[in-house]
Copies of this chain bind each other. A is one copy, B any other.
């Protein structure tokens, strides 16, 4: 029996199996919303399934703050950790790769292969670091559109994403109205509110005030690991829910016994959070964290377009907006508002509020009722 036999992610029916990423290099100048221009950029992306002859079966996936282009499948026969939305994407899954051509790219400004602050500035031969332009949700989407053009995709069957991904989904429908037929924004908002800005600011301060940040010019191997871990630990709490954490951890002790009277890990939830912080610093760039949180903060459709209704004036996509009852970062109301504004503009839009206890991260969780909603909406003629 070889490794491949043992890896259910390769052999199990309905799994997408081995995947690989590709790079799209755009070699013309690209100007950001902040007015700055870079001479070109790279987007790292993956595709699953096949583009049909009519080239009308593409589903674009947009990732959240800490996500990337690798949303399904595994990279090798030994790889036991599939892409971040592997439960949603694959043959026979809600986003069915037997029917759809699925594309996902690491956002512009990212740190998983796409051009971002850690990339080399061709003009200086050094990393951009804080010289990288401020990237907005709009910039991310315009870069993705250039990738779609490169792939010669004339229209999108759907754009789907949660959280920061959901913001991109909305931006797609607004910016390229005739290009997008369906949108599914999940657990998102049309306007980043005060509490969310506040949490982001604490995370940024944890990074910026870490002496290892060095004004953003840290050694890629070192960097503000303490600050980034703190930022991630805190943010991770905001992705869960009180009820979900209570059920998963409660006050369970790490060692199962009595309290230890210690500042070391005493409760299981502490061990879990520290693990989240530590694993994050091994895969994520601190400056990208700063840039992406700012992209979230600056997202405000009502202000940008005058009102949310005005933002949606030209939208032609039909919309399924999904909120989660236990999401307190982008709570149901904020998702409902999106649908209400679409409906006031006489668009085809519907809202589903899914009762799940996993908080903001509910959109990532294995949940048949969520799958059925998405599958039905994507397949409907």
Chain A residues at the B interface, C-beta cutoff of 8 Å:
34, 130, 134, 191-195, 197-199, 201-202, 204-206, 208-211, 226, 229-230, 233-234, 237, 240-242, 245-246, 248-251, 259, 261, 263, 266-267, 269-270, 273-274, 277, 290, 294, 297-298, 300, 303, 328, 331
Contacts and interface: CB of A to CB of B under 8 A. Distances in A.
B193 A263 contact: no
A214 to B, nearest CB: 14
B251 A194 contact: yes
A220 B353 CA distance: 52
A259 B298 contact: yes
B245 A193 contact: yes
A204 B226 CA distance: 12
Contacts of A237: 195, 198-199, 202
Contact of A234 (B234, B261, B263): B234
Nearest to A201: B270
Given A197-B267, A198-B245, A205-B277, 6 more contacts: A193-B250, A198-B270, A205-B230, A211-B211, A242-B328, A263-B294
B201 A250 contact: no
8 contacts: A194-B246, A194-B269, A199-B234, A201-B233, A201-B267, A202-B273, A208-B263, A251-B303
A232 B157 CA distance: 46
Contact of A251 (B197, B241, B267): B197
B245 A263 contact: no
B303 A201 contact: no
B194 A248 contact: yes
B226 A209 contact: yes
Contacts of A240: 195
A194 B249 contact: yes
A230 B209 contact: yes
Given A205-B230, A230-B202, A233-B201, A193 B242 contact: yes
